[in-house]
Structure formats: C-alpha cells, structure tokens
Structure 1
Amino acid sequence: MKMTSAQAAKLLRQLNEELRTLQKRENNTRSFCASLGEDVESVRPEYDYAAMQEAQSQVETKIRHLKHALNCFNASTVIPEFNMTIDEMLIYLPQLTRRMEKLSAMKDVLPKAREDTFLRNSSSVIDYRYANYDIAKASADHSAVMEELSRAQTALDYINNTVEMEIEL
C-alpha cells in the first residue's frame, strides 16, 4: 500500500496501541483468582493462549515491516533544499534547537554584570562578569538559526506529508 511518512507514523501509533491493548488484555486474563469453595470454572476469564500469541505476533510483524519501511524511506529520501536525507534532518533539527537555545541565553546577557556574592563570604570586593563575545552577533546568529530551524521543519513536514512510499504489511 502507498502512504506518506506522516500517514505511516499515525498507523505505527495505532499498531503500537493495538499491541499494548492485546498485552494488557493478556495480563488481565492469563491468570485469575478464585476463593476456596468457589466454582473455578464460573470465574475463569476467557483466554486462548495460542490465539493471543498469534494476534500479538501479527501486530509485531506489521510494526516491524512499517518501521523498516520508514527507516528505508528516511535513509534514502533527500530533502532538496538542504541536500540531506530525512534521517540526517532528524539529527540536524535537534542540533539546531540546542544551538538556538544556547544563543538565546548568550544574546540575553549584559556586557557587564555584577556577580552575586550572597553565596560567598562577605567581602568588600565586587566582582563583575564580562561577556567575552559580541552580544549583537550572538543575537543575529540566534535569529538566523531560528529561521534555519523553521525552514528545516517546514521542508521536512512537506516531504512527510506529500511523498509516498510503498509499504508491505
């Protein structure tokens, strides 16, 4: 069947939920308690070991095939604007995010700031912390990284929602 990466991700969530439900159902029915003197058969929950194992195995196989297809798609599909594959982009996005967070903190500092002395001994010496870089450049770089991150996310979203792959489940 043909589907986009976004559709495949939704199907993967559904399959994982289906597997979780089967596993929970099995945990709730594979054993049970009965009181002494109680008719054990009247409280025995319905449970078919072989059928339950087969149902879980079928869902796990679908998950495996779907994840493999997604991995192949991500490793081979290039995002033209960035000349990198989706799997590279999935590494690049967190790198950009971390860089943006670092630059955000750097752009917000003062060129000269008084150090907090309440953690040290009381002293008449006043310490100052100086920015050892161009704050305006950090601010400009922050804006550029934010723009790059936005472009990268948009390009990835476009590919994930438009390019189809063939998946055999």
Structure 2
Amino acid sequence: MLITSAKAAKMLRQLNDELRTLQVREGKTKTFVAALQEDIESVRPKYNFKEMRDAQAEVERKIRKLKHALNIFNTTTVVPEFDMTIDEMLVFLPQLNKQCSLLSGMRDAMPKVRVSSGYSGNSAILDYQYTNYDIEEANKRYIELSDMLAKAQTALDLINSTVEFEIDI
C-alpha cells in the first residue's frame, strides 16, 4: 500500500489507540470479583487469554512495521531545498526553534538598563547592565532564522503530505 507520512502518522495514532483499548479491556476482564453466594459463571466477564494476546500482538506487529517503514522513509528522503534527509530536518527544526527563541530575547534587549544592586538602604551607587552585542544584528539574524524555520517547516509539510512510500502491513 502506498501512503504519505502524514497518513502513516494518522494510522499510527489509530493503532496505538486500538492497542490501548485492548489493554484497558483486558485489564477490566482478566480478573473479576464475585461474592461467595453468587454463581461465579453468571458474573464472569468474557475473556479469552489467547485471543487477547493474539489481538495485541497483531496490533503491535502493525505498529512495528509502520514505524520501520516511516523510519526508512525519513532516513532516505531528502528535502531538496535544504539538502537534508527528513530525519536530519527533524533534528534541525528544534535547533532553529531554540536559536529563534534565544535571538528573540536578544533583539528585544535595551542597550542600557538600570538594575537594582540588591542592597537595601540608600546607596548612591547605581548599577547598569549593558548589552555586549549589536541589537540590530541580533534582530537581522532572528528574521533570517525565522524565515528559514518557516521555509523548512513548509518544505517538510509538503513532503509529508504528498510523497508516498510503500508499506506492507
């Protein structure tokens, strides 16, 4: 079957949800409580150990196959505009985000800011904090990286929603 990685992600969520449901159902039916005076068979929930194990194993197998195919796709598919595989892009994007966050604070700084000395009392000494970089340069770099981040996310989204790969589950 041919699918996109966006479709694979949806399938993976569905499979994980299906597995969680099976596990919850098993938790509720593998044991039960009955009073001594009750007919145990009348309160026994339907549970088949082998069927439950087999059902969970089948869903887990599908999850493994899907994740493996997605990993191969991510490590072999190159995002042309960036000359990186999707796998590399998934590392690059958080790095860009972190740099943008840092530069956002740096571009918002003031060249000179009065800071409290931390002493109580009437001190005549005033302390100032000075930026040790060019704020405009930080702003320009922020804009460059922010644009690059948007382009990278768009390029990755395009591949994830249009490029198909083969999966046999």
Tell me if TM exceeds 0.5: yes
- Rate the CA distance shift 1:47–1:131 in 2: closer, same or farther, 3 A: same
Q: How large is the RMSD of aligned CA atoms in angstroms? A: 0.9
Q: CA deviation at 1:125?
A: 1.6
Give 1:158's aligned residue.
Answer: 158
Where 1:11 maps in the other structure, the secondary structure is: helix
Q: CA deviation at 1:126?
A: 1.2
CA displacement 1:102-155 (0-9 Å, x = unmatched): 0000000100001134x4443332110000000001011111111000000000
Q: How many residue pairs get matched?
A: 168
Aligned mates of 1:116, 1:145 — CA distance in 2: 34
Q: CA deviation at 1:88?
A: 0.1
Give 1:33's aligned residue.
Answer: 33
Give 2:102's aligned residue.
Answer: 102
Letter in 2 for 1:106: M
Letter in 2 for 1:63: I
Give 1:142's aligned residue.
Answer: 142
- Map 1:1-169 → 2, pairs under 5 A: 1-117=1-117, 119-122=118-121, 123-169=123-169
Aligned mates of 1:80, 1:3 — CA distance in 2: 20
Q: Decide which moves more: 57-66 or 30-39.
A: 30-39
Where 2:160 maps in the other structure, the secondary structure is: helix
Letter in 1 for 2:102: K
Where 2:165 maps in the other structure, the secondary structure is: strand
Moved over 2 A (4+): 119-124
Letter in 2 for 1:98: K
Aligned mates of 1:120, 1:62 — CA distance in 2: 64
Where 1:23 maps in the other structure, the secondary structure is: helix
Letter in 2 for 1:110: M
Where 1:110 maps in the other structure, the secondary structure is: coil
Q: Decide which moves more: 119-128 or 52-61.
A: 119-128
Q: CA deviation at 1:40?
A: 1.2
Letter in 2 for 1:33: V
Aligned mates of 1:4, 1:17 — CA distance in 2: 20
- Rate the CA distance shift 1:127–1:52 in 2: closer, same or farther, 3 A: same
- Rate the CA distance shift 1:41–1:120 in 2: closer, same or farther, 3 A: farther
Aligned mates of 1:149, 1:128 — CA distance in 2: 35
Give the alignment's TM-score, normalised by structure 1.
0.97
Q: CA deviation at 1:99?
A: 0.3
Over the matched positions of the two proteins, sequence identity in percent amounts to 56
